Amino acid sequence: MADQSPDNSPNDADLPGLKATTPEERRRAFGILFVSLLSLGMGQSLFFAVLPPIARELGMSEFETTMIFSLSALLWTLTSPYWGTRSDIVGRKPIMLTGLIGFGVSTVGFAAVVMVGLWGWVSLGLMFPLLITVRAIFGTFGSGTMPAAQAYVADRTTRAERASGVASIGAAFGMGTVIGPGFAAALATFHILAPFFAVSAIAFGGALFIWRMLPERTTPKQKVADRQKQRRRLKLSDGRVAPWLMLGVVLSLAQSITMQLVAFYYMDTFNMQGDEATQFVSVGLMAMAMATIFTQMVLIQRFDLSVQFLLRVGAAVMIASFGILIAANAYGLFVTSLALAGVGFGFLRAGLSAGASLSVSPRDQGAIAGLIGGTAATGHIINPLVGIPLYYFMHQAPFILAAGLMVIILLMALFHPVVSKVNANASMDDEEDEGDLHPH
């Protein structure tokens, strides 16, 4: 892994479009970004842990609950590319501020709507569209923080440092998902909505630090943006792209089934409700998130695992995880299945991203990353139409489907001509930039 220390990074003056920033400024900037993205990760994971018990208490169905996630995921998928492009024009800081403030407003608004609902001031018929609306704020505006933050780091790293630099952004978000469920379990002892208010306060604090202390040296890149619009775009039907997009959608659906339904499954299997269910489910989700971070930050980095290993072993581990979850009749087995899921998802996410990147030329790295990133939210859109009806039919059915999806990934990793043959050592000809400017 490349050295991520700001002191060992290149002078920003050597990078296009940037004025120099000192090592101290860069260290401070990356620290601020880390805390800000930590709050985003915490907010995401605590929603999965806390919302199902709240929904049960309010009388909302599983379908209504997952629809709240689905609309937000759809808006995220649609708006994230826009915010990334916009940061090239107006700079990174304004877009990061937009995302964090949007996230904070959405989270505190969500908690406020639920609170008046618990007090009986708002009917369920009105509260559901209100929850959809405030969560839509997150999907629309909160999606700006991550692409702008990644671009900010990319602006300040060399090509050799780029992977480790952007990985640190993912690690911050991932660590937030680890902390989120435990954070929710601790604060839920005071009030079930306390975690929402606390995370929104952290987001607003991060926005304040970005506004006052984050050095912004990025110049407007309108010419770059115009040039990018003229480049040939990777097509969905491209033989190098299509299999990875399929894997992305399949993996996203399996993850959505797990994240959106596991709390309901636990409550129905062990006959537990309310704050107690929140705390027990939060521990399981925290174990899953910790296993994912350990897999990505320790196992993969330490042993330099191949794409084929990541996909094949990840799929096999997930099949075992879903098998244990389906058969679980004790809390220990429930947590064990989620911990294994964390390992499996950690392998699969890394294998998907690395494999897709290795399958295209250097000039198409941004395009393929955007396409793969777009598949990450598709599961939240599909699950209410597939996973929820299966859950009503039989509580184990969605997880049986998820295990079948992992079999598809395993078979593709073993036999698909693109997926099974991708090679980190293979060289690819990089076409001249000028060639990209010709219309196709």
Domain C-terminal end among 180, 210, 227: 227
Identify the domain containing residue 93 by its residue range: 11-227
Residue pLDDT, tens place only, 79-126: 876 776 677 677 778 888 998 999 999 989 988 988 888 787 877 778
Could you give the 3-state DSSP secondary structure of residue 421?
coil
Instruction: For residue 124, count other CB atoms closer than 10 A to its CB.
Output: 11
Q: What is the pLDDT of residue 368?
A: 64
**Is 58 part of a structural domain of the chain?**
yes
> Do 154 and 50 belong to one domain?
yes
Q: What are phi and psi of 218, to 5 degrees?
A: -75, 125
Dig out the tokens for 244 from the structure.
Answer: 């990875």
Residue pLDDT, tens place only, 117-163: 878 787 777 878 888 888 889 888 987 787 777 667 666 755 444 44
Residue pLDDT, tens place only, 273-291: 767 777 788 788 878 878 8
Could you give the 3-state DSSP secondary structure of residue 45?
helix
Q: What is the pTM of this model?
A: 0.67
> Do 222 and 235 belong to one domain?
no
Q: What is the pLDDT of residue 170?
A: 58
User: What would the mean pLDDT of 71-76 be, rounded to a whole number?
Assistant: 82
Report angle CA 434, 436, 439 to the nearest 5 degrees. Answer: 115
More confident call, 363 vs 327 = 327
CA atoms within 13 A on the CB side of 45: 28
Q: What is the pLDDT of residue 226?
A: 44
Q: Look-up: residue for tokens 């060992």?
A: 8
Rounded-to-integer distance, Cα 296 and Cα 299, Å: 6
Q: Look-up: residue for tokens 């990356």?
A: 30
> Do 239 and 281 belong to one domain?
yes
For residue 264, give the nearest of 106, 114, 56, 125 by alpha carbon.
56
The total number of structural domains in the chain stands at 2
> Do 128 and 238 belong to one domain?
no
Q: Look-up: residue for tokens 């700079």?
A: 91
* Domain of residue 158, CATH code: 1.20.1250.20
Q: Are 49 and 263 in contact (CB under 8 A)?
A: yes
Over its C-alpha atoms, the chain yields an Rg (Å, rounded) of: 22
For residue 141, give the nearest of 174, 172, 114, 106 by alpha carbon.
106
Rounded-to-integer distance, Cα 88 and Cα 152, Å: 10
Residue pLDDT, tens place only, 221-263: 444 444 444 445 556 667 778 899 899 899 999 998 998 898 8
CA atoms within 13 A on the CB side of 420: 9
For residue 151, give the nearest of 104, 94, 111 by alpha carbon.
94
Residue 404 pLDDT greater than 90, yes or no: yes
Instruction: For residue 385, count other CB atoms closer than 10 A to its CB.
Output: 11
Q: What is the pLDDT of residue 319?
A: 97
User: What would the mean pLDDT of 304-309 be, rounded to a whole number?
Assistant: 80
